[in-house]
Structure 1
Amino acid sequence: MMEEPDVVVIGAGAAGTGAARTLVKAGLKTLVLEALSRTGGRASTAKVGGNVVDLGCGWLHSGDRNPWTRIAGEIGITVDRQPSAWGGQFRDLGFAPHERDAAHLAFERWTERVSTTPPPSDVAADALDPADGWTSYLQALSGYISGDELERISCKDYAAYNEASTSINWRVQTGYGALVGAAMPAEAMVKLSTPVEAIGLDGHRIEVKTSAGTVRARALTVTVSTNVLAGDTIRWPSAFDAWRAAAMRLPLGANEKLFLEITGQAPFEDETHLIGDPRDASTGSYYIRPFGQPVIECYLGGAGARAVAEKGQEDAFARATDQLVRLFGSDIRRNLRPLVASDWSRTVSIGGAYSHALPGHSDARLTLAGSLDQRVFFAGEATHTTDFSTAHGALQSGERAAREVLAALQETP
């Protein structure tokens, strides 16, 4: 390992990348420790069977103001600015136009209530109007957006994200995960497959114990997920208790992706989309032939994603195939085969998808973003008050934490 770096960054995801880019630009010796065997964190691009798929984040949300758009240009990666097929229902299968209009109106009305007349409870489910008749659909959307049911979502938190979002979503054909990985600065020392085991704050230097030994540094930037910070895979010092309590109020939701390979002649068209069953809160959302590739991406959130961990990937693939068969007919079963799937909830160094604030606890994001004794600095998507749950929110949080490190070290001999 680098001998006595200026700063240790825990995590080589988007936040760790943002921190490392800022720190090395300022000339600081920076060591990035990553438990996984790759960089990128929850941004993960896989190449399977000649196809390029993103198992984690795949869309540059708010692409017109997303800093990853700029970074992609700087390192020579093309951003695809074509509009998403989300919201469409291929050939109106299983979701007639008049039903979609009613469901979309119910979502718009719920969003308006959450933003302008939120319930005193701050519970997003309390803003539902059962008379709309689309509660299951709204719960499915909550699973995709937040990874959890509306009963566990803060209205204030959701409204903050919704107000800041530009609703412009772009992609990178070579993969969002590949973009994040390529952005890690060469000047940083990155140690992969090196999980952190414990943190010590008693000495003059911060001690970071890893599976490869102990390293000491002047400052520490922590970018792990809220589930890891609140959990016990790392032995955290008692001084972290306030941050760990905040992390518990910002749990990771459940989201997983399944990719089905399309074989032979099948009635699937490029860049199309549909919801499997809009009246099932655990339904899959299917993006068909992205970039013309012979794959179908099944996106699961909330109950649908939790079922993957509970029942296994084989069951999840079978359920997704059954949903598509009900829409397209039994003949397509022979055209679909499992390709690859994510497993975020059971990835020990992550433990889920992205954060959402529990009702009444949106302010926990500010607590989590605070520094400890001007020695330890926290970053990650969960510390961003408006762009949480995104790779650009994570990036910006890492840059913010790095600026705080630089200010602190300038003041400290």
Structure 2
Amino acid sequence: MMRDHIESIPAMNSDPDIAIIGAGAAGIGAARRLAGGGFSVSILEALPRLGGRAWTYETPVAAVDLGCGWLHSADRNPWTRIAEEKGFVVDRGPTAWGEQFRDLGFPKAEREAAGRAFARWSERISTTPPVSDRASDALDPDSPWIAYLQALSGYISGDELEHISAMDYAAYNMASTGCNWRVPTGYGTVISSSLPAGIKLHLATAIEALTFEGRRIALRTSSGTLRPRAAICTVSTNVLAGDSTIWPSVLDPWRDAAARLPLGSNEKLFLEIVGDSPFAPESYVIGDAHDPATGAYYIRPFGSQVIECFLGGAGARAIAADGSDAGFARAIDQLAELFGSSVRRCLHPLVASDWSGTPSIGGAYSHALPGQVDARSALARPFDDRLFFAGEATHTTDFSTAHGAYESGVRAAEQAIAALAPNLR
């Protein structure tokens, strides 16, 4: 959803003081901080819509969040305040996440044992982290719940524990308040409707190359070249480290930092429930706690006739490799195993995300590789007081979240203000 004052500008028609590359949560956060500050500001977004990895998609059944869907650490999340100021309802009620409807396939005793295994691993990560900084090295090798912990790692970080920095995970875990709320109309809707007035928006405008021309930055696009005095770069780490954009060699240290913070794999599938079914509103099941590629299923959120299947790590990579049709089939198989084969007739594929296949993004959210936790601070450093970096990957504790992205955008905007304000025309 976009407000009336927002319009896509197809051609480059002026050189702003500040250009923001990317109109996701970080770019919008930067724009909100810059609005009304006396600077001319333009946003360039490769996608034909606002929001980046925040996308509320309208289906005939319900609005669904293909990207971020939960206000994590909601009691201190700035999007909570923004949502309520804009008149959105924030649901603070309890959710079914982490439960198992009627103990199907995952009895209470097993859930408690699996929970204890996760708690022990989390405690080791925080108090006696492995010297290797490899999160998998904190596992009990004899635990029967390693597959379960790998599934959780897929949901949380988008990759297996072998590829996760223990220090990075611990930093996020310590900062999280564990308070998770929802917006019935969609988290993506909140974010995409929050761009302030006075910001020139160029949608479907990918950056082909970034160069430096004197004291200006040249941003070449298919619609022309924009030459701002400063720029805030919010592109994903996979884009910054990749070759879809031409970057000058002086940015190699930032690109190296981005490569040490790769995006994990996370995708969502949504199934429509048609006709009578055993699916209760606001219920949850994990498909198979002994399968690291299992789906996690949130059933009938807000009473809708929809099931959200969340896949991380190996499960999400399977979608990328085999396609969404195979993913839907596997999800239906898992639900039929738990609820009975009769549910097959009432489950219809609705929509699937494809974050790994979106060229301007290339994955889900970032995680630091073992031994690379310092890459977040390295990526957040400004270049020459005219190129500033934001995005969830630059936040040292709230990475992988929309609120971490927002806060990083505000931080980068304040850096740009401090650099340009003395010379404000």
TM (normalized to structure 1)? Answer: 0.99
Q: Is the 8 A contact 2:48 2:204 kept in 1?
A: yes
Q: Is the 8 A contact 2:61 2:305 kept in 1?
A: no
- Cα deviation for residue 23 of structure 1 reads 1.1
**Which of 260, 271, 275 pairs up with 1:260?**
271
**Bigger mean CA offset, 178-187 vs 299-308:** 178-187
| Correspondence for 1:399 | 410
Q: CA-to-partner distance for each residue in 1:205-262, whole Å, 9 max, x for gaps? A: 1111011000111101000000000001111111110000000000000000000000
| Correspondence for 1:37 | 48
**Which of 341, 363, 372 pairs up with 1:361?**
372
- Cα deviation for residue 2 of structure 1 reads 4.4
- The answer as to 2:330 corresponding to 1:319 is yes
The code of the aligned residue for 2:163 comes to R
Q: CA-to-partner distance for each residue in 1:329-349, whole Å, 9 max, x for gaps? A: 110000101000000000000
In structure 2, how many angstroms separate the alpha carbons of the residues matched to 1:59 and 1:139? 21
**Which of 198, 222, 236 pairs up with 2:233?**
222
**Bigger mean CA offset, 179-188 vs 198-207:** 198-207
Give the percent of matched residue pairs that are identical in Structure 1 and Structure 2.
Answer: 64
- Cα deviation for residue 411 of structure 1 reads 3.5
| Correspondence for 1:336 | 347
Query: What secondary structure sits across from 1:201 in the alignment?
Result: strand
In structure 1, how many angstroms separate the alpha carbons of the residues matched to 2:407 and 2:316? 28
Q: CA-to-partner distance for each residue in 1:2-52, whole Å, 9 max, x for gaps? A: 411000100000000001111123121100000001000000000111311
**Which of 263, 273, 283 pairs up with 1:272?**
283
| Correspondence for 2:109 | 98
Q: Is the 8 A contact 1:371 1:377 kept in 2?
A: yes
Q: Is the 8 A contact 1:2 1:31 kept in 2?
A: no
Query: What secondary structure sits across from 1:346 in the alignment?
Result: coil
| Correspondence for 2:175 | 164
In structure 2, how many angstroms separate the alpha carbons of the residues matched to 1:355 and 1:284? 20
| Correspondence for 1:298 | 309
In structure 2, how many angstroms separate the alpha carbons of the residues matched to 1:35 and 1:4? 18
- The answer as to 2:319 corresponding to 1:308 is yes
Q: Is the 8 A contact 2:61 2:272 kept in 1?
A: no
User: Structure 1 runs of 4+ off > 4 angstroms?
Assistant: none
**Bigger mean CA offset, 200-209 vs 245-254:** 200-209
| Correspondence for 2:192 | 181
The code of the aligned residue for 1:210 comes to T
Q: Is the 8 A contact 2:56 2:67 kept in 1?
A: yes
Instruction: Give the alignment of 1:201-216 within 5 angstroms.
Output: 201-216=212-227
Query: What secondary structure sits across from 1:131 in the alignment?
Result: coil
The code of the aligned residue for 2:368 comes to A
Query: What secondary structure sits across from 1:270 in the alignment?
Result: coil
In structure 2, how many angstroms separate the alpha carbons of the residues matched to 1:180 and 1:14? 6
Q: Is the 8 A contact 2:104 2:338 kept in 1?
A: yes
- Cα deviation for residue 186 of structure 1 reads 2.0
The code of the aligned residue for 2:256 comes to A
Q: Is the 8 A contact 1:252 1:352 kept in 2?
A: yes
Long gaps (5+) in structure 1:
none
| Correspondence for 2:67 | 56
Q: Could you say what the CA RMSD is over the residues aligned between the two structures, in angstroms?
A: 0.8
In structure 1, how many angstroms separate the alpha carbons of the residues matched to 2:361 and 2:355? 7
**Which of 130, 151, 156 pairs up with 1:140?**
151
Q: CA-to-partner distance for each residue in 1:104-130, whole Å, 9 max, x for gaps? A: 000000000000001100000000002
Query: What secondary structure sits across from 1:299 in the alignment?
Result: strand
How many residues align? The count is: 413
TM (normalized to structure 2)? Answer: 0.96
- The answer as to 2:118 corresponding to 1:114 is no
- Cα deviation for residue 85 of structure 1 reads 1.0
**Which of 280, 283, 288 pairs up with 2:299?**
288
Long gaps (5+) in structure 2:
1-11
Q: CA-to-partner distance for each residue in 1:62-98, whole Å, 9 max, x for gaps? A: 0000000010111111111112211100010000100
In structure 1, how many angstroms separate the alpha carbons of the residues matched to 2:309 and 2:50? 24
In structure 2, how many angstroms separate the alpha carbons of the residues matched to 1:206 and 1:155? 37
In structure 1, how many angstroms separate the alpha carbons of the residues matched to 2:292 and 2:91? 31
In structure 2, how many angstroms separate the alpha carbons of the residues matched to 1:46 and 1:346? 17
| Correspondence for 1:82 | 93
| Correspondence for 2:5 | none
- The answer as to 2:141 corresponding to 1:130 is yes
